[in-house]
Amino acid sequence: MEKGDHLITPRRGYRHHGVYVGNGRVIHYAGFKQWLSIGPVEEISLDEFAAGRAVTVAGSGGEQAVARARSRLGENRYRFFTNNCEHFAEWCISGLSRSLQVEALFRFN
């Protein structure tokens, strides 16, 4: 894994996203970390992020992605449809806030 990698790990019913920042650490939007309790953007260990599941790399944004991720530490404006963990990771990597998972919910093909 390299600094700035966009990480994805499966969860029940969705995929969780974060940005690898080096030294075994990941910055992610905690979101619904605990039932009905919304968590902020935080830095956690890779093991905690993975929660015993596989982790894949979806792309990389290098040091710029790490800087973007760090700039939002502590932010607590999680919104499932408009500002979730995937929106956060995509913005860190590319500068564009988007969630393919949310977009797929609204496709009627």
In which band, very low, low, confident or very high, does the pLDDT at 37 lie, cut at 50, 70 and 90? confident
What is the percent of the chain with per-residue pLDDT over 90, rounded to a whole number? 75
Give per-residue pLDDT as tens, 72-86. Answer: 999 999 998 999 999
User: What is the rounded distance in angstroms from the CA atom of residue 46 to the CA atom of residue 43?
Assistant: 9
- Judged by DSSP in three states, 33 sits in strand
Superfamily covering domain 5-105: endopeptidase domain like (from Nostoc punctiforme) (3.90.1720.10)
Q: Taking the domains of the chain in order of start, what are their residue ranges?
A: 5-105
pTM as predicted: 0.90
**Residue position matching structure tokens 């790490």:** 66
User: What is the rounded distance in angstroms from the CA atom of residue 67 to the CA atom of residue 17?
Assistant: 17
Give per-residue pLDDT as tens, 53-64. Answer: 999 999 999 999
